[in-house]
Chains A and B, each alone.
Chain A
Amino acid sequence: MTTPGLTWIYAVVPDVADGLLDGMTGVAGEPLRALTAPGLALVVGSVPREDFDERALQQHLADLRWVETAVRAHHRVIAELARTRRTLPLRFATLYRDDRGALSFLRGAGPRLQAALDRVADRDEWGVKAYLDAPVPDAPATGPADPPDGAAAADDRPGTAYLLRRRAQRDDRARRFEQAHERARQIHAALADRADEAAEHPLQSAEASGRAAPMLLNGAYLVEHARAAEFGAAVTELGRRTTGVRVELTGPWPPYSFVEIDAEPVEPAEPAGPVTGSAPAEGG
């Protein structure tokens, strides 16, 4: 029985009993299946080769609409699983040529996957982002700095005064930023104390976040279910009493940022199955 498509892998869960996958679909709208090993199930879907082989994937990646749809679909599967199961999300866009490759991964990594599943049991990831919350700097000049265009004879040296004011503003802004940055470090430390594990993602640029305010912290925290309310309250409280910093909570997330598994024992690259040469038929 050959599977016509490639095998996209979503997540590892302990089991898929009770019709867990019924009705669920993946990145290509495909129904989901499970490949199993003792105590583990790898949730997979078959996606069309022509849309997901290396070349097509590279092309799709330049199309953010495509990426967004696929990323949300991958996340939807994982989030749905995580509602009822310990769940290890797999990195977006990990594919095997067929089920055999995926299965050999599952079998080979079994104990390490078990250990990672245990680490995230009864825990969620929470995201905390902090932004500089600065009052909008006042207009560049108070006073008659807005020369009515035309005959605004620059009598004294309004230019110099203007520049001085600008520099003072810039210095002030830099100082506020510095302070806010320091406070964000303290927020991260306080939250890390209340979490089992903490991680930081790169700060999002203003373009990516869609916010004018600079980001100061992009943290992720692995928190026990039993302590989630406490953690949330701590976030609220830190946000309230930290001036100049705006704090936001996101989540709960499946434990994306906390699922590193131990390195694979090195073995010579061994084809996981008969990888037949790619068929030359291409639509162009």
Chain B
Amino acid sequence: MTGAGEVARTAPYPVDDRRIALVDLLDRLLAGGVVVAGEITLGIAGVDLVRISLRALVASVSTLVAETDPDLWDPGPPDGDLPHRELP
């Protein structure tokens, strides 16, 4: 994303942008959106399952990131600052 100031109504949605942090997406897609009684839904248990696997995966991701796709887990620090993303 570019600077916050230049947001305009024509700003495109960040479609298919791998730089969107997965956690931000999960916040919205698993907890937001219209909830309806579909015949199959994730339910609380499913959401928890995702959270657990997220935790497990992120814990092992520091090595993974280096090896595979550097962008995949990039939390996308805006504007120049060095990313602080060392995991303990």
Contact = CB atoms under 8 A, between A and B. Distances in A.
B44 interface: no
Given A72-B16, A76-B16, A209-B75, A90 B33 contact: yes
A57 B45 CA distance: 12
Interface residues of B, number: 60
Contact of A79 (B14, B41, B52): B14
Interface string A253-275: 11011111100100000001001
B42 A207 contact: no
Contacts of B36: 9, 90-91, 94, 105, 109, 264
B3 A71 contact: no
A250 B24 contact: yes
Contacts of B7: 228-229, 231-232, 252
Contact of B6 (A89, A204, A229, A264): A229
Nearest to A122: B9
A259 B34 contact: yes
Nearest to B61: A210
B27 A204 contact: yes
Contacts of B53: 61-64, 67
B58 A207 contact: yes
Nearest to B27: A201
B32 A256 contact: yes
Interface residues of A, number: 82
Contacts of B32: 89, 91, 256-259
B34 A210 contact: no
B66 interface: no
B13 A72 contact: no
A83 interface: yes
Interface of B: 1, 3-9, 11-16, 18, 20-42, 46, 49-50, 52-59, 61, 73, 75, 77-78, 81, 84-88
15 contacts: A52-B40, A57-B40, A58-B49, A72-B25, A75-B29, A76-B16, A82-B13, A94-B38, A101-B38, A201-B28, A210-B23, A210-B61, A232-B7, A257-B28, A259-B33
Closest 5 CB pairs of A and B: A256-B32, A256-B28, A225-B9, A94-B38, A91-B33
